[in-house]
Amino acid sequence: MTNTELTQLEKAHLWHPFTQMRDWEVSSPIFIESGQGVKLRDMEGREYYDANSSMWLNVHGHRRPEIDAAVIAQIGKVAHSTMLGLTHEPGARLAARLAALAPPGLTRVFYSDNGSTANEVALKMAFQYWRHQGQDRRRFIALSEGYHGDTIGAVSVGGVGLFHGIFRDLLFEVDFVPSPARAASLEAAVQQMEAALAAHNDEVCAVILEPLVQMAGGILTAPAGYLKAVRELCDRYDVLLIADEVATGFGRTGAMFACDLAGVSPDFLCLGKGLTGGYLPLAATLATDKIYDAFLGDYKEWKSFTHGHSYTGNPLACAAALASLDIFEQEQVIDGLAPKITLIRQILSEIESLPHVGGIRQCGLMAGIEIVRDKSRHELYPFEDAIGVRICRRALAMGLITRPLGHVITFVPPLASSPGELTEMLGILREAIAWETQDA
Ligand SMILES: Cc1ncc(COP(=O)(O)O)c(C=O)c1O
């Protein structure tokens, strides 16, 4: 089919996520046909750097022969079979690998198929755990400007009002603590969390947060020591801790998990996105024996965790995840990240000197470039100027794909990006920013 014919079909029938379809209908959609390494190629043969890792997913690059081969080998056996009443080898092996990799104590792996459901599972498990302790706890504590996905439970604990304000009437009650990135100091941020815990601790099931970086909130980085302090507070107030590492997991922070950098073991670890190297939809909620044991009992006690999805623990996705973990191990991927992170920091500090760059936020291979109209007064462009959208469109025309979060341009390249590729990608971003913000 030609590009024109496909465009007609797509515009007649497709509805895209987070997209104003009226604008889309008059746009010229790019059909991605193939990928190789850190680049994607469209049907017209144009190449683009995948500078947001296809929405923070891709880890080792596209078309990694080892992951391709693992998926093909599994498809030669069976593409899918259920985890209800049955199990399979890739699922069992992956669970053991994840338990061994995760921070200490997270021994149990519950599969689902996206980041939102990984968090839903943790929220429901936490709620049910307290029921099994004979306690009627219903509250959750979450962070303002946090994002945990788009299903209703995940939206309830999400603190990015712009995304989800319309659904407020559907949501359960959550106590929001200001983002630690906005606090005057670590002590102030910790005090805010303690105040929320002290107010209702015997009603609170869990604290849920994105450790170290609130990604969708605008790549907001928490002060060092915050995660550890929250862990200590949760212990002191007897509240569970859910670490949503859907975005930060699998090397993005420079460590395998953000929790590793902080030396923290949560009660639940939620994983998705990079779990399969960015190949296939798979998510996992890891829990401790303490949580798991609370769900054991006789049939008549009704203690099972009654939650599951049709594609829970899909074998193809598990095979991809195992191959991705092999690459991490064989190529010592994590050990190789430090020089890349330093390089990104160096180039970003040059970009920071541009007249309309108000600030840079970086944690590992995740960065946000904040665009401002007036640097000295830190004044933002009016919303209707869509400055972030314009810069990303310009970058696209120059051969680089990324997305804005409002006035913040995100840069989340695949871990496999070489120093040369990182330099080139950031060069394009720099030029796109300079072009779109040049003063008349
Ligand atoms: C921290 C975090 N949690 C959860 C999610 C939701 O994941 P999914 O889009 O796979 O449902 C995201 C997605 O961006 C995320 O960044």
Instruction: Determine what percent of the chain is predicted with pLDDT higher than 90.
Output: 95
Q: What angle do CA 81, 84, 90 make, to 5 degrees?
A: 50
Residues spanned by CATH 3.90.1150.10 within the chain?
A: 31-59+334-436
Q: What is the distance between the alpha carbons of residues 28 and 50, in angstroms, rounded to a whole number?
A: 19
Mean pLDDT highest for which of 4-8, 132-136, 157-161?
A: 132-136
* CA distances from residue 107 to 98, 246, 285, 305, 430 in whole angstroms, order as listed: 8, 18, 10, 16, 44
Please compute the mean of the pLDDT values over residues 317-330 and round it to a whole number. Answer: 98
Ligand 1 atom at shortest distance from the alpha carbon of 117: 11
Ligand 1 atom at shortest distance from the alpha carbon of 210: 1
> Ligand 1 mean position to 55 CA, how many Å?
9
Question: What is the identity of the amino acid at 40?
Answer: L
For residue 424, pLDDT over 90 is answered with yes
Contacts of 17 (CB under 8 A, 6+ apart): none
Please compute the mean of the pLDDT values over residues 94-114 and round it to a whole number. Answer: 98
Residues with CB under 6 A from ligand 1: 114-116, 119, 147-149, 210, 215-216, 244, 246-247, 272
pLDDT of residue 400: 98
Choose the residue to mutate in 116, 269, 405 for probing ligand 1, maximizing ligand atoms within 8 Å of C-beta. Answer: 116
Cα dihedral sign, 308-88-334-47:
negative
More confident residue, 285 or 163: 285
Report the DSSP beta bridge partners of residue 140: 174, 206
Write down the residue that tokens 């209800």 correspond to.
84
Please compute the mean of the pLDDT values over residues 216-241 and round it to a whole number. Answer: 97
Q: What is the distance between the alpha carbons of residues 185 and 77, in angstroms, rounded to a whole number?
A: 55
Token pair recorded at residue 436 = 């779109």
Ligand 1 atom at shortest distance from the alpha carbon of 114: 10
pLDDT for 346-389, tens place per residue? 999 999 999 999 999 999 999 999 999 999 999 999 999 999 99
Residue nearest to atom 8 of ligand 1 (CA): 115
pLDDT of residue 162: 73
pLDDT of residue 33: 97
pLDDT for 233-274, tens place per residue? 999 999 999 999 999 999 999 999 999 999 999 999 999 999
* Alpha carbon 101 to its chain's center: 18
Q: DSSP of 258-295, one letter per residue?
A: HHHHHT---SEEEE-GGGGTTSS--EEEEEEHHHHHTT
More confident residue, 264 or 168: 264
Q: Counting Cβ atoms within 10 Å, is residue 80 exposed (0-12), middle (13-18) or buried (19+)? A: middle
pLDDT of residue 329: 98
Please compute the mean of the pLDDT values over residues 68-97 and round it to a whole number. Answer: 98
Contact indicator for 53, 249 with CB cutoff of 8 Å: no
Q: Counting Cβ atoms within 10 Å, is residue 151 exposed (0-12), middle (13-18) or buried (19+)? A: middle
pLDDT of residue 439: 78
Choose the residue to mutate in 58, 210, 273 for probing ligand 1, maximizing ligand atoms within 8 Å of C-beta. Answer: 273
User: Which of 385, 381, 417 is CA-nearest to residue 402?
Assistant: 417
**Which stretches of 338-403 are assigned E, i.e. beta strand?**
357-363, 366-371, 400-401
Choose the residue to mutate in 58, 117, 147, 155 for probing ligand 1, maximizing ligand atoms within 8 Å of C-beta. Answer: 147
Please compute the mean of the pLDDT values over residues 113-139 and round it to a whole number. Answer: 97
pLDDT of residue 440: 56
> Ligand 1 mean position to 92 CA, how many Å?
24
Instruction: Spell out the CATH class of 67-330.
Output: alpha beta
Q: What is the distance between the alpha carbons of residues 234 and 155, in angstroms, rounded to a whole number?
A: 22
For residue 165, pLDDT over 90 is answered with no
Residue nearest to atom 7 of ligand 1 (CA): 115
Q: What is the distance between the alpha carbons of residues 381 and 383, in angstroms, rounded to a whole number?
A: 6
Tell me the average pLDDT of the chain: 96
Residue nearest to atom 3 of ligand 1 (CA): 148
Instruction: Determine what percent of the chain is predicted with pLDDT higher than 70.
Output: 100
Count the residues in the chain. 440
31-59+334-436 — its CATH code?
3.90.1150.10
201 pLDDT tier (thresholds 50, 70, 90): confident
Token pair recorded at residue 435 = 């072009």
Q: What is the DSSP letter of 45?
A: S
Ligand 1 atom at shortest distance from the alpha carbon of 151: 11
φ, ψ of residue 278 in degrees (nearest 5) = 90, 20
* Binding site as annotated, residues for substrate: 147, 273, 308, 403
Question: Quick check: helix, strand or coil at residue 35?
Answer: strand
* Binding site as annotated, residues: 115-116, 147, 244, 273, 308-310, 403
Side-chain-side CA neighbours of 264 within 13 Å: the count stands at 31
Q: What is the distance between the alpha carbons of residues 313 and 318, in angstroms, rounded to a whole number?
A: 7
